[in-house]
Amino acid sequence: MNWRRFWAVLICRNREFLRDRSTLTWNLLFPVSLIAGFAFAFSGPGLDLYKVGVLGDAGVGRDSAFFSTRYIDFIPIHELPVALRKVERHQLDMLIDPAGRRYWINDQAPKGYVLERVLRGADVAADPVFSKQTVSGRGIRYVDWVMPGVLAMNMMFGCLFGVGYVIVRYRKNGMLKRLKATPLTPLEFLTAQVISRLGLTLTTTTIVFVGTDGFIGFPMHGSYLDLFIVFAVGAISLISLGLIVAARTTSEELAAGLLNLLSWPMTFLSGVWFSLEGVHPFLQQCAQLAPLTHIIDAARAIILDGAGMADVFGHLLALTVMSVGFMALGARLFRWE
């Protein structure tokens, strides 16, 4: 490898990205706006878990202890037919008529079943089977939980499209054909693209993390260095995956379709927005094949649980194996034209 040629390509790619102000702004503002939106939407003491419509006048027949239950949002209702439709469509978990001593639930709604058990006071008169134990600790906000996923998702789009789409554009406008006529080798060109995107991705991710932490205040129970290593290894894996798409594709439309085909399933199956614990076991196994899953799981373990490198070694090993495999396949398939 000729380091002068490698450095020249690296500098050119960095300058090209920095001069594209719209792309740079999007990479910074998109994750910030998402995290800020979640912080605002889920701020406060906590959201109510259940919605119960209360039919009739306020205070009439509300002598039951059920109406003092926490985490239930009691909504005044004045029209029975409208309220029944909401129960039918799962917009209300329960409808209760305190004056008439009756209630309605949807027999296919899990929340309605739970509320019915609470209302009827199941097993109150029976001897307790379990003894009560309590734990205390600072609660984790949803924005704290979702933040590593948003950062990783932004990395994913930046890595896949920043390498895969750009190289395809180079091939389509004839730039790769001109570079082929120079002494530049494929190894030098691809390495420069990978290092450039890696540095830009880690820089923007660090700026977004520090900036949002400044006004939201995320918990950090682990090491910042460990978190940086996870993001670095994960970014390399995602960039290597983008190289496979860019290896021979000549159409920007096809490249965009292939990159979306890779990115959106990972977005929904890697635990960005919700935990995978409740999904089908087969989908949980499929999610382990995605680099984004290991990045998010390792980042959350470090940030929220204080995990160390030994605890996330399995995720790092999986990301490393994926990186080597993707990089080898992308380099083997790569063509200038």
Distance CA(165)–CA(239), nearest Å, equals: 11
Longest pairwise C-alpha distance within the chain: 87
- Say what the pLDDT of residue 245 is: 84
Q: What is the pLDDT of residues 162-221, one digit of tens each?
A: 887 788 888 877 787 887 878 888 778 888 888 888 888 898 889 888 888 888 888 888
Q: What is the pLDDT of residues 7-35, one digit of tens each?
A: 887 888 778 777 777 776 777 777 778 77
- Say what the pLDDT of residue 129 is: 55
- Say what the pLDDT of residue 130 is: 53
- Say what the pLDDT of residue 46 is: 54
Burial class (CB in 10 A: 0-12, 13-18, 19+), 83: buried
In a structure prediction context, what are the per-residue pLDDT tens digits for the chain, which is 337 residues long?
677 787 887 888 778 777 777 776 777 777 778 777 766 666 655 556 788 888 877 665 566 778 888 888 888 888 888 888 888 888 888 888 888 888 888 888 888 888 888 887 755 555 555 545 555 556 677 788 888 888 888 888 888 888 877 888 888 777 878 878 788 887 788 888 888 888 888 988 898 888 888 888 888 888 999 999 999 999 999 998 888 888 878 777 888 888 888 888 888 888 888 877 767 788 888 888 889 999 999 999 999 888 889 999 999 999 999 999 988 888 888 787 7
3-state SS, residue 108: coil
Q: Give the chain's radius of gyration (CA, Å).
A: 26
